[in-house]
Amino acid sequence: MRKVLLLLLFVSSAQAIEVYSFETAEQEALYQAVTKELRCLVCQNQNLADSDAGLATDLKDKVAAFVIEGKSQEEITQYMIERYGEFVSYQPPLNASTLFLWLSPLLLLLIGGVVLVMKIRSTQHD
């Protein structure tokens, strides 16, 4: 009995997620990919897929409609960027203002490498 209840719980929660009826598995996959790459602007450290904010729901409706229309991921992302700016995308483009963002991991690696080399050399001298 408990197992059945548990199963029911899972089934109902799975149905709650699938609110859009896509015709193909590709459309569904595209929808998932796009909403994972777009930021929810209300709760800015969440993506659209994970967010339940009112605006996120509106934007997800929009994405689903575009997917069904046959628009590509680039077209949908571009649509959002035109309205909400680059910030809406979790894939920031490489330009002057994001250069530091893209290069900072490399910079950190470089600093770490230099420290490491210095450390090794000093122990070898001792």
Partner 1 sequence: MKKVLIAVLPLAVFVTLVVLLYVNMGTHSERLPSPLVGKQLPVFKLNTLYSGKTLTQDDFKGQVWLMNVFGSWCPSCRVEHPVISDLAQSGVVKVVGFNWKDEFVDADRWLKQFGNPYDEILVDLKGDVAIDFGVYGAPENFLIDKNGVIRYKLVGNLTPEIINNELLPLIKELNQ
Binding residues vs partner 1 (CB under 8 A): 41-42, 44, 54-55, 58-59, 62, 81-87
44 versus 104: smaller Cβ distance to partner 1: 44
26 versus 75: smaller Cβ distance to partner 1: 75
26 versus 83: smaller Cβ distance to partner 1: 83
- CA dihedral sign, ordered 93, 99, 104, 109: positive
Instruction: Please give the structure tokens belonging to residue 117.
Output: 């080399």
Residue 43 CB, nearest approach to partner 1 (Å):
10
Distance of CA 8 to the CA centre of its chain: 30
Residue 112 CB, nearest approach to partner 1 (Å):
15
Question: What does each C-alpha distance from 123 to 8, 14, 74, 126 come to in angstroms?
Answer: 64, 58, 53, 5
